[in-house]
Amino acid sequence: MDEQERQMAAYDAHLTRLKFRLSIVGTPLLIAAAIGAWMSGTLLRFANPVYLFIAASAIAIGIGFGCATILWSPQQAKSETQFHATIFFAVLSLAGLVGLIAVACDATMNSSRFDYQCSLLMKDMLSLKPTRDDSKDLYDALACRPQPVATLVWKDRLPR
C-alpha cells in the first residue's frame, strides 16, 4: 500500500467518524425540532412572519453549510480554514436560534393580548346588557377560544 492509498483510507475513516458524530448530534436535534414545531403550532398565527423566516433561514443556512464544510472539505483544508468556517456557521445557527426564541416570546405576548381581547368580547357577549351589538360576530371572526368563566365573572366581585 503506497502513501496515497494510506492517506485515502485514513481520510475515509475520518469521514466515517464525522458522519457518525453528526448523526449522533443531528438525530436528537431533529427530534427536538419536530417536537418544538408541533408544540408551537398554536403560536404560529401570532408570530411575525418576516422575523420567523429570517431566524429559520439563519438556522438552516448555518446547519446546512456547517455540515457541508465538515463533510466535504478536502483533506488539505482541514486546518484553520475549516475550523473558522465551522465556527462561523455555528455562530450563525446560534444567532438564528436566539432569533427564533425572540419570535416565540413575541408570539406569546401577542397571544396573551389576543386572549384578553377575546375575554372582553366574551364578557360583553354574555352580559345581560351588552354594550356592542356585534360582539358575537367579532368573537367568531377573530376565531376566539372560550376563556375561563371564573376569571371573567368573578373578577369584578372579588374584594379589593
Inside any domain, residue 118: yes
Question: What's CA 41's distance to the chain center, in Å?
Answer: 10
Inside any domain, residue 55: yes
**Residue 62, domain extent:** 40-153
Q: Give the dihedral sign, CA 7/9/11/14.
A: negative
The grid coordinates listed for 146 are 372560550
Inside any domain, residue 111: yes
List, for residues 24-63, the tens digit of each pLDDT value.
666 777 777 778 778 778 888 888 888 888 888 888 888 7
List, for residues 94-137, the tens digit of each pLDDT value.
888 888 888 888 888 888 888 888 888 888 888 888 888 888 88
Total domain count, the chain = 1
Inside any domain, residue 3: no
List, for residues 11-27, the tens digit of each pLDDT value.
777 777 767 666 666 67
Dist CA 75 CA 44 (whole Å): 43
The grid coordinates listed for 102 are 425572540
- Model-level pTM greater than 0.75? no
